[in-house]
Amino acid sequence: MQEVIREKAASLLRDGTVARVLAWKKGELGYDVTPAVFSSEDQLSELVYNGFCGANMSKYAVKESRKEGKTAVFLKPCDTYSFNQLLCEHRILRDNIYVVGIPCEGMLDEGKMKALVPELLGAEDNGEKVCLSGYDGTKSVPKAQLLSERCENCKSRRH
């Protein structure tokens, strides 16, 4: 899915549909993904989409919608609920946002990961399992055990 998102973002920037893309960028550790704005195709190699992309892009779209030109924003199903609410409250300028809906298999809970590996140095989402790294080595855990509480009960996630 990450490559599909990168290609869609590149296409939108390339043809001038949008001036910028609001998505996720990897931080220093594998699990500290953060929202980021990409304004050129060259920057898109830093764009990530995995189980650590829990940040709701809707709240970041408020500020981006105030900028000149359109902003593409990638929304998970749960993000769309708050996006629609922000639209109703007139906090997002809808004409300045290009929404791309993306599927989600559930986001991981950092607290649950740190409960298993207190000195968490890194984490890698491998689809069905998550590899947690700490000072005492690595531990492979089923992804389902580490899902955020809101994701455990999500109606949009395929079970």
pLDDT tens sequence across 37-94: 999 999 999 999 999 999 999 999 999 999 999 999 999 999 999 999 999 999 999 9
| pTM summary value | 0.89
Contacts for 109 with CB less than 8 Å, ≥ 6 apart = 146, 147, 148, 149
CA distance 133 to 115: 13
pLDDT at 158 over 70: no
Sequence length of the chain is 159
List the alpha helices (DSSP H) in the chain: 2-14, 57-64, 77-88, 110-116, 149-152
* SS3 label, residue 109: coil
